[in-house]
Amino acid sequence: MSFLLLPILYHPQSISFTAPNSPAGYIKCKASLPQKLPFIHSPKSTQFFPPKCFADAIRSKSINFFLSGSLALALSLAGVGIAEGKVGVNKPELLPKEFTTVIDVAGFLSDGQENRLAQEIAAIEKDTGFKLRVLAQNYPDTPGLAIKDFWKVDDRTIVFVADPTFGNILNFNVGASVDLDVPRSFWGRLVGKYGNMFYWKEKGEDASIEAAVMAIGNCLREPVGANNCSEVK
């Protein structure tokens, strides 16, 4: 699955959008657009709609796209598709020879940090049953499609791609089972707090990655309910 990601458009008014391909057939939503927003075009429709409507409308079995920054980066199981026409990548040669839950092809993390993250990810999986996987990259230097089989990505998997290429460093592929327990708003708050350019440029890419992993662990360990994962901590 791939989407054409278009340049930022500006519209000064509030517009009603109809998002096709939703489970109910159509989802109507309103978007107030006082500022620049990335608009996305679905190849199955001639309509254009903003990220919120798009995220509400498109819900596949195993993937949800979380959009952030001035341009959107979408991780799919067919590779990593980037804005401005960049296509998916498949470089299995970038994968480590032995299984690991943390792959850093960008050099953001020290060996000690990788080990700590791997230990925390193992604890998250033991405590919650959900699988978190971390890939640090600088597009197009990425394993891309190869991570699907390497990690055996399924509905209980969160693939966290740390890539600062377009400003916001945090990008997530969230399995359908995770999506049932974790409110979608959590990912937006997480991206806004630890993924923004000001945060990672001041504290470092490694700090953003570590903070995001800890926040995900805290969220997944909370009892499922009306207010779970309401705070990023």
**Would residue 135 count as lying in a domain?**
yes
Q: Per mean pLDDT, which of 72-76, 141-145, 210-214 is the most reliable?
A: 210-214
pLDDT band, residue 86 (cuts 50/70/90): low
Q: Which of 7-16, 71-80, 81-90, 99-108 has the lowest mean pLDDT?
A: 7-16
**Would residue 204 count as lying in a domain?**
yes
**Would residue 37 count as lying in a domain?**
no
Number of domains in the chain: 1
**Would residue 134 count as lying in a domain?**
yes
**Would residue 145 count as lying in a domain?**
yes
Q: What are the tens digits of pLDDT across the range 146-177? A: 999 999 999 999 999 999 998 999 999 999 99
**Would residue 172 count as lying in a domain?**
yes
Whether pTM exceeds 0.75: no
**Would residue 36 count as lying in a domain?**
no
Work out the widest C-alpha separation in the chain, in whole angstroms: 53
**Would residue 107 count as lying in a domain?**
yes
Q: What are the tens digits of pLDDT across the range 39-62? A: 333 333 333 334 444 334 333 333
User: What is the CATH number for 109?
Assistant: 3.10.310.50
Using alpha carbons, select from 229, 55, 63, 224 the residue that is nearest to residue 157. 63
User: Whole domain around residue 159: which residue ranges?
Assistant: 89-221
